[in-house]
Amino acid sequence: MNFLQKIINKVGLKRMIENQNYIGSQVLIGKNTIVKGSNISGRIAIGHDCKIYRADLNGNIEIGNFTSIWGPNIDLNALVNGIKIGNYCSIAKNVTFQEFNHDYSRFTTYYINKNILKNKDHKSDLVSKGSILIEHDVWIGAHSVILSGAHISTGAIVAANSVVTGFVPPYAIVGGTPAKIIKSRFELEVCTQLLESRWWDLPLNELKNRIDEFQEIVKNTNA
């Protein structure tokens, strides 16, 4: 075997490892959803026609239809409350959803119940400000962090390298640490029409036939 063949074999092995999955027994995955190189464990439901690539999902998580979680290095962790993500969302690489945290109100932030007292209930070391809710058609940029209690509304965009801790209005563009509103994608009237249409819930054939109609709504807007 020559040197070049050895390199090819190593690259092929790396790709094979990257595409392997671990999927737990309580995970439900919908039709036509593609999962590659991911670890998925806990009580997790993923809708149809999603794309999950090189992501780690752990805990109580619900993901809608046609959502793309495209890594590498995407982490969704929900051990106290849950994480819910809607339809047609786009989550970029290196994004972290952290629904729980260390309890700094105790004498130590260390996981003392789990590691010292050997308490099997790992939740006794954790605190949370509530579930994480991502509505529909949300785009979360690379390297962002979504913390417990965050609620990102339909149509919103989270700029890269942002930290979201609270409520993001519909069709808002937010960025920074903590994330603040930069602007709205559209005028209020356009946002209202899009929200009232609930296009993300339409059957696929109907959506295909009405895409031009929805694009016309935003065509002449000045955000």
pLDDT of 10 > 70? The answer is no
When pLDDT is averaged across residues 207-216 and rounded to a whole number, the result is 96
When pLDDT is averaged across residues 141-168 and rounded to a whole number, the result is 98
pTM for the model: 0.89
Catalytic residue list contains 102: yes
Out of 17-21, 55-59, 103-107, pick the least confident.
17-21
Give whole-number Cα distances, 62 to 43, 92, 162, 176, in Å: 8, 18, 23, 26
* pLDDT score at 220: 67
* pLDDT score at 6: 52
Q: Is 190 exposed, middle or buried (0-12, 13-18, 19+ CB in 10 A)?
A: buried
Q: Which residue is catalytic, options 48, 102, 122, 136?
A: 102
Full DSSP string of 176-211: TTTTEEEEESS-HHHHHHHHHHTGGGS-HHHHHHHH
Q: Where are the domains of the chain?
A: 22-185, 187-223
* pLDDT score at 219: 86
- Residue 142 banded pLDDT, cuts 50, 70, 90: very high
Which CATH code for domain 22-185?
A: 2.160.10.10
Instruction: State what percent of residues in the chain have pLDDT above 90.
Output: 83
Tell me: cis bond preceding 203? Omega within 30 of 0 counts: no
